[in-house]
Chains A and B, each alone.
Chain A
Amino acid sequence: MSKLIMLRTDSRLVRSLGATLTALPAYQSALADAPPAFTEVGLRYSHYSEDSLPEERVIFGSPSRYDIDVTQLWIEAPVGGAWSIALDVQNDAMSGASPWFVGLGLDGEPGVIMSGASIEDNRVEVGVTTRYFWADGNAGLAISHSEEDDYEALSFAFDVAWNSADNSRTWTASASSSNDNVSPVKERIPVFIDEESLNTQSMYFGVSQILSQTKIVRIGLSYTQSEGYLTDPYKFADRRPDTHDKWTLSAGYRQFMVNMDAALQADYRYYHDDWGTDSHTIEIGWHQNLGKHVLAPYLRYYTQGEADFFSPIADRSQPFYADDYRLSSYGALTAGVRWTVQFGDWGIEAQAERYRSNNDWSLFDGDAAPALVDFWRATVGLSWRFD
């Protein structure tokens, strides 16, 4: 972001006078179709921690679950007058145990058998994105490689955005492809495969429209198709189809509140797949400018229906079966807050989020899974911009 825009957005008076010197496209309201004016380097550290399962829901094993330490490092720079390039490196250090399968407890209720000994794993993802800018749009090409002990993924993505003649409407399209290989580690729990592959293709089409000086809206449609090994190799009672088709319809709305120097943010997504799952996601956020500081609380509600082949205790007589809580019917509430501050060329951020899920909060019918997850995540970050 240029100093020009930083100056403008720091001043309510200047903004109210409409000092924008460039015709801002609708798809990405804070940036014109030009490469970044500065090089930026940044570092983020996040901790993700799942709550232990209640003792009464565990038949065997420790109720402790997953903890992940995530480090993100990036550099993004302009190249010439029309290009930018970004390098992203992410490291995930994971440890803990996860549900292995669900059985019937002594009380007659479904209970969880955990995977036993703590699992240690490390994932490293490296991604490079190049982007070309022209007067009426931009296009990006990204390649990413992710590797951990038992999983490797190589993905490519292309996206393009172009603006209407008056820059009030922006069309966006993207396509991506991922080739994954899974080779499970066998020393922890019994697994029944040596190596399998998975291919995923995805496409997205969307349009955003400026409604007024303070309002903008967008809608989008996506389709994703996966083919290959979709079963979770670390679940004892899990057998899934080898194809998966997914559709989403999403919408977003932003309204700037001039008198409050803040913005209302609202997003909705409807999801449907050919495994019988539908879901709704609604997120409401508030972005409050406070001089150099920004405080942005948000609430998210998510609800999904169960997959056709899910049951609390897997029925292994069926062609496909799963007791994975992630395929069950439930609702989840998320509350979070994000704080950022800009001191000259330095930016600081901090964020915390709480996620809780419950079968009773679902809009869909379905049996409760005993291993539903609750978690915390928190982030601190630092970035620096220079010419």
Chain B
Amino acid sequence: MKTVVLNIALFMLPLWLHGCTAIEPVSAWERGYLADPAMQWDRGKREAKFAGHVYTSKEASSGGAGAAGGGCGCN
């Protein structure tokens, strides 16, 4: 498993380095595409909350997307 993690890290490293070195200054009036709803981090607040609750209830993992809602999710 360590090999898999290492491979992913090695795969992502050039992307991050590329990202860090390829930052272009973007003026306020050049952010029309960035403002498109397509560029949001989630598919809507309520959908994100519902999907998060479903996955957290059925998988061992949680976190990484802000505070979770309440509820047992035992079954």
A positions within 8 Å CB-CB of B: 5, 8-9, 14-24, 28-30, 42, 44, 46, 48, 66, 70, 72, 74, 88, 90, 92, 94, 96, 98, 119, 123, 125, 127, 142, 144-146, 148, 150-151, 153-155, 157, 159, 166-168, 174, 176, 178, 180, 182, 202, 204, 209-214, 216-218, 220, 222, 224, 232-234, 246-252, 254, 256, 258, 262-263, 265, 268-271, 273, 275, 277-281, 285, 287, 289, 294, 296, 298, 302, 304-305, 307, 326-327, 332, 338, 349, 351, 355, 363-365, 373, 375, 377, 379, 381
Contacts and interface: CB of A to CB of B under 8 A. Distances in A.
Given A168-B25, A278-B1, A296 B61 contact: no
Contacts of B62: 224, 246, 271
19 contacts: A16-B32, A20-B28, A90-B69, A125-B69, A145-B70, A150-B72, A159-B67, A174-B66, A204-B64, A212-B24, A213-B32, A233-B74, A234-B74, A248-B61, A251-B12, A271-B63, A273-B60, A273-B61, A275-B60
A387 B61 CA distance: 41
A142 B43 contact: no
A338 B8 contact: no
Nearest to A92: B71
B34 A213 contact: yes
A379 B34 contact: no
Interface residues of B, number: 51
B31 A146 contact: no
Interface string B31-75: 111111111110110110110001100111111111111111011
What is the interface of chain B mostly: helix, strand, loop, or mixed? loop
Contacts of B47: 44, 338, 349, 351, 379
Contacts of A214: 33-34
Interface string B8-32: 1000100000010011111111111
A332 B33 contact: no
A209 B28 contact: no
Contact of B43 (A21, A46, A167, A296): A296
Given A157-B67, A248-B64, A254-B39, A14 B32 contact: yes
A262 B38 CA distance: 7
Nearest to A22: B28
B67 A176 contact: yes
Given A150-B72, A338-B47, A155 B67 contact: yes
A213 B59 contact: no
Q: Which of B27, B34, B62, B71 has the most CB of A within 10 A?
A: B34
A278 B4 CA distance: 12
Contacts of B54: 48, 377
B29 A210 contact: no
Contacts of A48: 54
Contact of A304 (B4, B24, B37, B60): B60
Interface of B: 1, 4-5, 8, 12, 19, 22-41, 43-44, 46-47, 49-50, 54-55, 58-72, 74-75
A29 B71 contact: no
A211 B24 contact: yes
A44 B8 CA distance: 37
Contacts of A178: 68, 70
